Amino acid sequence: MNRTHFFGAHFSVAGGLENALYRAQELNCDAAQIFTKNARTWKDPELTREQVTRFDNARKKTGITRIFSHCTYLINIASTEPEKLKKSVSVLRAEMARSGTLGLKGVVLHPGAHLGRGTEAGLETARSSLNAVLSLDDGWFPELLIETTAGAGTCLGSRFEEIGQLIRSLDRPEAVGVCLDTSHVFAAGYDLRTTAALNGTLDAFHRHIGMQRLKLIHANDSIPSLGSRKDRHTHIGAGLIGRSGFGALMTDNRLKFLPVILETPKEADGADMDEINLNSLRELAL
């Protein structure tokens, strides 16, 4: 098959981690994203040997190797509260270890919120948290991928400058890449709606972060408007980025051969929307 990108979606792990890969295979995906634990709690269960074996078998059977995990939303590596910060570092470390054991390619992390102390102080705390986690890499850690954010409240990472600065400040910048979420960058004020607008946005990404650090795309259309700093995903072509924006994204040479993961609602009017959204992306990539 002539591939331009490696398409996939965030899939449920209900009934077993391996079920995400079998669902991905049903939809002809080459990539997948999962939660390796319940994303709404701090609880951090160890993987059993049986879970790992079933996941390994599913990876072999499906041939899907571009698999990513998304961290729990509870983590704040820039927190002002010592207890919360400690927990965030240990849960992130456990996520990296678990994802490594499962043979995943990357772990997606939001860069945290400064909670009113200001961007510079927040980035400094994030830097020391990431250094603490990455120094524990026993050679099995997957790549840590910092996700671009919409910039709600005091969240860091809505400006490419902040992500670039954070990565360059780390002891091991080579261990870290970036995940670009289309709806987040749009809400943060980076236009993607036309080829010209996308060019400007990717030029800024390259200037402040570097295209070589871009490892994953989250493809989500946006309900909130450009610069609204609000995060609400919708189906490809149904939001304000629109089909023309995704057409520009899917045909830009700088984004070719990257994994592209949907995080869009799973259902609409009873229809299975992953299949429809994947088909939209595939069509627009032709």
Closest CA to 262 of 56, 36, 27, 64: 27
**In the complex, least distance from residue 57 CB atom to Zn ion, rounded to whole angstroms:** 28
Contact of 277 with 262, CB cutoff 8 Å: yes
Tokens of 64: 């899907």
Q: Which is nearer to Zn ion, 147 or 162 (CB)?
A: 147
Q: State yes or no: is 114 an active-site residue.
A: no
* Choice among 10, 110, 114, 159 that is catalytic: 110
**In the complex, least distance from residue 88 CB atom to Zn ion, rounded to whole angstroms:** 15
DSSP state of 268: E
Q: What is the Cα–Cα distance from 154 to 76, expressed in whole angstroms? A: 11
Q: State yes or no: is 117 an active-site residue.
A: no
Give the helix/strand (H/E) hosting 219.
strand 214-219
Binding part of the chain for Zn ion, among 1-9, 189-197, 213-221, 278-286 by CB under 5 A, reads 213-221
Kindly report the backbone phi and psi dihedral angles of residue 233, in degrees, each rounded to the nearest multiple of 5, phi listed first.
Answer: -85, 150
Look at strands 214-219 and 259-262 and give their pairing.
Answer: parallel
**In the complex, least distance from residue 261 CB atom to Zn ion, rounded to whole angstroms:** 8
Binding mask 238-267 for Zn ion (x = CB under 5 A): -------------------------x----
Q: What is the Cα–Cα distance from 175 to 145, expressed in whole angstroms? A: 9
Q: State yes or no: is 272 an active-site residue.
A: no
Q: What is the DSSP string of 63-93?
A: ---EEEEE--TT--TT-SSHHHHHHHHHHHH
**In the complex, least distance from residue 211 CB atom to Zn ion, rounded to whole angstroms:** 19
Residues within window 119-148 making contact with Zn ion, judged by CB under 5 A? 147
Q: State yes or no: is 40 an active-site residue.
A: yes
**In the complex, least distance from residue 157 CB atom to Zn ion, rounded to whole angstroms:** 10
* Choice among 10, 23, 66, 218 that is catalytic: 218
Q: Which is nearer to Zn ion, 44 or 263 (CB)?
A: 263
**In the complex, least distance from residue 179 CB atom to Zn ion, rounded to whole angstroms:** 7
Residue 181 lies near Zn ion (rule: CB under 5 A)? yes
- Among 34, 198, 218, 221, which residue sits at the site for Zn ion (rule: CB under 5 A)? 218
Q: State yes or no: is 206 an active-site residue.
A: no
Q: State yes or no: is 5 an active-site residue.
A: no
Q: How many residues lie near Zn ion (CB under 5 A)?
A: 4
* Choice among 181, 190, 213, 274 that is catalytic: 181
Q: State yes or no: is 274 an active-site residue.
A: no
Q: What is the Cα–Cα distance from 111 to 130, expressed in whole angstroms? A: 10
Q: State yes or no: is 73 an active-site residue.
A: yes
Burial 26-61 (b: 16+ CB within 10 A, else e): ebebbbbbbbbbeeeeeebeebeeebbebbeebbee
Residues within window 25-84 making contact with Zn ion, judged by CB under 5 A? none
* Choice among 73, 83, 138, 267 that is catalytic: 73
Q: State yes or no: is 110 an active-site residue.
A: yes
Contact of 192 with 249, CB cutoff 8 Å: yes
User: Which residues 6+ apart lie within 8 Å of 249 measured at CB?
Assistant: 182, 192, 198, 217, 219, 255, 284
* Interacting residues with Zn ion (CB under 5 A): 147, 181, 218, 263
Catalytic residue positions, numbered: 40, 70, 73, 110, 147, 181, 184, 218, 231, 233, 263
